[in-house]
Structure 1
């Protein structure tokens, strides 16, 4: 069974426990998780250098944490840069309370993490989706991040992995009503997501095949 080493860095113990609860209930049993945690920049730094031989596979990093001034580590972004240097294969997910557009854009520009989550978007289900998506090497942005990117970067439309899966099955000519047979989502949610994607592309009322063609042109497909 593949071993997945997880690093969780957050200065709130109850949030760390919340992440552990999600991982403990992760439905894909083909992975065995080993979890390490740190509560500030110093303990994160020490934990990383204590595991250079057996590197972390995925890291969840809070952006705002007590600093480690002696080593020039002032935030989760600095921890991310340290991981990128010492453990370049580690999949990084940054979590932040800051939903301001400039902060979101700064994180994407400087770190380009595989996952970026606004904490106000966090639910148990969204964390499960984030873990599954990132483990599969796919990028995960939470709802607020996707909304911001769609407002700012009109040349590309951003959607999450569930939307991409819906488009994948529509491309295979699976009826929308039958898509819940392939992924864990209700028929009403499929319809809502399809309508939202058509709205994002300014294609209200279009046929599914027209949506798929436009989605391909806009980099929305799997």
Structure 2
């Protein structure tokens, strides 16, 4: 029997909800089926979370939506807090058009969602990657969020799940040309990503084995 995953999508643009659903339906793992639940504003989001007995496995919440003044629910962040209280097993991903550093930091500090996506970063492949990562219970930050965190917190380097997989296989002694045998990424992309990681770590020019050793010491491996 396929595994069923209940997905709550809250966004005030129906065509965006439909776009998310269309992408999710193309999820490559056919052993997983999805059941969708929708809300189009803070009021219907409140009803779906607080007034419904339905349990959700994953919730994609837009940050900016029409408010529900009667209950003091003004943003997707408020809905995320309700999910954490009423349906604590639900994995939460927040999506926002705001890439300002203060907004990103505020969401991380107040909600600490499993997923945080700047909408301008979102495409078919990144949506599938985000979904797959969150299903596994792993954290997914989109590119703009990772860049912000790396600029703000020099003591810790943030990388996405693909970079962590690359570092994992480099640590195992796998040549970067052979890594595409294990993950769906080209060897040229592997090379670009590992060189970018070296720059982030301040170790440009080092060998791949040295990169893996530093990454392991910094807690960056899977």
Q: TM-score range by the shorter chain?
A: over 0.9
**Where do 1:114-193 residues align within 5 Å?**
114-193=114-193
SS of the counterpart of 2:9? strand
Contact 1:156/1:219 (<8 A) preserved: no
Give the TM-score normalised by the residue count of structure 1. 0.98
Contact 2:42/2:74 (<8 A) preserved: yes
Give the TM-score normalised by the residue count of structure 2. 0.98
CA distance in 1, matches of 2:136, 2:13: 28
Contact 1:155/1:218 (<8 A) preserved: no
- Which residue in 1 is equivalent to 2:34? 33
CA distance in 2, matches of 1:99, 1:35: 28
Cα shift at 1:49: 3.1
CA distance in 1, matches of 2:146, 2:216: 18
- Which residue in 2 is equivalent to 1:45? 46
Deviation digits for residues 17-61 of structure 1, max 9, x if unmatched? Answer: 110011110001121110011110001111123542x41000000
Match status 1:17 vs 2:27? no
- Which structure's residues are more often strand, by fraction? 2
Cα shift at 1:87: 0.7
CA distance in 1, matches of 2:159, 2:136: 16
RMSD (Å) for aligned C-alpha atoms? 0.9
**Where do 1:54-73 residues align within 5 Å?**
54-73=54-73
Cα shift at 1:219: 2.4
Contact 1:101/1:148 (<8 A) preserved: yes
**Where do 1:72-111 residues align within 5 Å?**
72-111=72-111
SS of the counterpart of 2:74? coil
CA distance in 2, matches of 1:190, 1:208: 12
SS of the counterpart of 2:92? strand
